[in-house]
Structure 1
C-alpha cells in the first residue's frame, strides 16, 4: 500500500515542488495540504496520513509547537518529518524531543526525501547529514555528558548495528551490510536503545559518532 503523506508548509511553491517530487514515486500518495501549524491536528484527523512533512518555520503556529499539540491531541499519530531551510541546533533538538521522526533540510536531494518518508512510515528516523553533524558537534561541546565509551555495555553486534545507524543506513541496508535479517536489525537497535537509556535511533547515531570519534571500542 502507498504511504499516505500530508504536506504542511506556508510556501505554495514548496508545496507544489513536494507534490511534483512525490508524484514520481508510486509508493507515496499525497492526501492533503495545510498552510500553517494551527491546521495540523484537523488535517491529520481528516486525512489520516502515515507521514507528515512539516515545515519548522511558519508565520502562524510553528512546526515544533504544532507537533507538540498533535502529540497531545491525537491518539494514533503519524510519523512527522520536519523540513527547514537551515539546521539550527536548538530547533532540531526541540523537534526531536517533541517526537519528530526525522529532520531534513529543504535542499535535501529528492531521493533522500523520498527515502526519509518511507523510513518514517516504517518506524525509522532520518536526519540530514548536515543536521546530524551539528547535533554531534553540539554533544562534543559538552552540552550532554558522555561516558568514556558512549556505547559501553553493547555487544559487538549491537555496536556494529549502531555504527551502521550512524552512517545513515536504513534497516534493510544495515541487514545487507552485516548479513542480518531486518527483524534482527530491529531487535539489535531496540536492545541497544534499552541498554543505553536512549529514546530513538537519532540519539543512537549521535552516541555511535561520538564513540567513533573517540576511537572507543
Structure 2
C-alpha cells in the first residue's frame, strides 16, 4: 500500500521539486502540497496523510505548535521536518516530529526517511 504523503513549504518551486523527487518512488504517493500552515487542518481532515514533510524555514514556532496539535489529533501521522538548524531537533522531537532531515540530504534520503518514519521509526 502506498504511503500517502503531504508536502508543506511556503515556496511553490521547492514544493514542485519535492514532488518531482518523489514521483517515481515505489509505494510513496504525494497526495498534495500546501504552502500555508493555516489551511492544513482541513486538508488533513479530508485526506489523512500517513506522512507530512514540512520545511520549517518559515514560521518555525508556529510550525512546531501546529505539529504538536496535529499529533494530538492524528497520532498516527508521522512528520518529517526539513531543517538546517540542528539545535531545533530537540524542540521538534518534543513537538512530535519523527524525523529531522537536513536540506542537504533531501535529494538522497527523503524517500528512505518517508518509508522509515511510516514504520514508526524516529531519526533526529
What TM-score comes out, normalization by structure 2 length? 0.88
TM-align CA RMSD = 1.9
Aligned length: 124
Change (3 A) 1:78 1:123: same
> Is it true that 1:87 corresponds to 2:79 in the alignment?
no
- In the other structure, the counterpart of 1:54 is 54
Alpha-carbon contact 1:102-1:120 (below 8 Å) kept:
yes
Superposition pairs of residues 145-184 of structure 1, within 5 angstroms: none
Tell me how far 1:47 sits from its aligned partner. Answer: 1.4
The 1-side partners of 2:121 and 2:75 are apart by: 17
State the structure with more CA Rg.
1
Deviation at 1:116, TM superposition (A): 0.3
Aligned partners of 1:116 and 1:125 also within 8 Å? no
Check if 1:78 corresponds to 2:77: yes
Aligned to 2:116: 119
The alpha carbon displacement at 1:109 in A equals 4.6
TM-score by length of 1: 0.53
Q: What runs of 5+ residues in structure 2 fail to find an aligned partner? A: none
Q: What CA deviation, in whole Å up to 9, does each residue of 1:75-112 have, x standing for no partner?
A: 4531001012x1240x2211111110000112215231
Deviation at 1:13, TM superposition (A): 1.4
Asked if 1:108 corresponds to 2:113, the answer is no
Alpha-carbon spacing, 1:75–1:23, altered in 2? closer, same or farther (3 Å)? closer
Residues 81, 104 of structure 1: 8 Å contact kept: yes
Which is helix-richer, 1 or 2? 1
